[in-house]
Amino acid sequence: MSTILEISHATRRFAGLVAVNDVSFTLEEGEILGIIGPNGAGKTTLISLISGTLMPSSGDIVFEGQSVAGLPAYRRARLGIGRTFQIMRPFPGLSVLDNVAVGALFGRNEGSLAEARERARGHLDFVGLGRFASQRADELGGPGRKRLELAKALAMRPKLLLCDEVMAGLNHVEIDEVIGVIRKLRDSGISILVIEHVIKAIKSLSDRLLVLHHGVKIADGAPDAVLADRAVIEAYLGKRRA
């Protein structure tokens, strides 16, 4: 296995607040890394630093051996960094298929709209949305929108996929289905970083877990060991329950 992503001393400040504080870790090719932490721990900020929607105040982000810390998001997408968004905003009025086709025109793709649509159809089938292709995207329910977010990210043909709470608000059956989709993605060769609040789901999905608390990395290792760590229990569940 080789390292696809290396974060070195990444820090992001917002005025007086340090949302991500001197965080370092690596992600190996083909690995699923789960990131957990209480609300406001800095998880989404960290993903934004990697995808390029936010720039680090200091520190470096190296993707496939190249520093990307100073590149805008679209350049990182072209290199193969794809992400989903916690708040889903499908293009209103566009069909489910065309929402994904738009993604297929960006990222590491070339070609016509017709080709983009054809690829989009494949991605919709992959996430189980094939039969909704011609429906308006803003008419999809919550679980459908989560799958659409995944299909849109996939359409950019990422080598690294950053998933921001793609299981939030789903029931057990829907969570198992999304876990199945993410595992299939990994099996297709994509390295994956997942932020999730549903501990049971992220534990079974992740090869490794990293815990953030007040912007600081407090644990990084095998899921069972990390979840049994006293500092993690105190941070994540609150001292009273530790």
Ligand X SMILES: Nc1ncnc2c1ncn2[C@@H]1O[C@H](COP(=O)(O)OP(=O)(O)OP(=O)(O)O)[C@@H](O)[C@H]1O
Distance CA 153, CA 169 (A): 19
Distance CA 169, CA 152 (A): 19
Question: What tokens does 169 get?
Answer: 């608000």
Judged by beta carbon, residue 17 or residue 231, the one nearer ligand X is 17
Residue 201 contacts ligand X per CB under 6 A: no
Among 34, 37, 103, 144, binds ligand X (CB under 6 A): 37
- In the sheet with 81-83, reading across from the earlier edge strand, the strands are 81-83, 160-164, 191-195, 32-36, 208-213, 216-221
DSSP 165-199: STTTT--HHHHHHHHHHHHHHHHTT-EEEEE-S-H
Phi, psi of 53, rounded to the nearest 5 degrees:
-75, -15
Residue 43 contacts ligand X per CB under 6 A: yes
Residue 44 contacts ligand X per CB under 6 A: yes
Judged by beta carbon, residue 17 or residue 113, the one nearer ligand X is 17
Judged by beta carbon, residue 40 or residue 128, the one nearer ligand X is 40
Residues 170-189 that bind ligand X (CB under 6 A): none
Residues 1-30 that bind ligand X (CB under 6 A): 14, 17, 19
Among 10, 41, 81, 96, binds ligand X (CB under 6 A): 41
Exposure on the CB side of residue 112, measured as CA atoms within 13 A? 3
Residue 39 contacts ligand X per CB under 6 A: yes
Judged by beta carbon, residue 42 or residue 80, the one nearer ligand X is 42
Among 23, 31, 45, 206, binds ligand X (CB under 6 A): 45
Distance CA 132, CA 61 (A): 37
| CB of 195 vs ligand X, minimal distance in Å | 7
Helical (H) or strand (E) element with 101: helix 96-104
Binding string, residues 78-107; x marks residues near ligand X by CB under 6 A: ------------------------------
Residue 199 contacts ligand X per CB under 6 A: no
Judged by beta carbon, residue 41 or residue 185, the one nearer ligand X is 41
Residue 40 contacts ligand X per CB under 6 A: yes
Cβ contact 13:19 at 8 Å: yes
Helical (H) or strand (E) element with 131: none
Judged by beta carbon, residue 129 or residue 178, the one nearer ligand X is 178
Strands 32-36 and 191-195: parallel
Judged by beta carbon, residue 42 or residue 107, the one nearer ligand X is 42
| CB of 124 vs ligand X, minimal distance in Å | 27
Distance, CA of 125 to chain centre: 20
For binding to ligand X (CB under 6 A), which residues are involved? 14, 17, 19, 37, 39-45
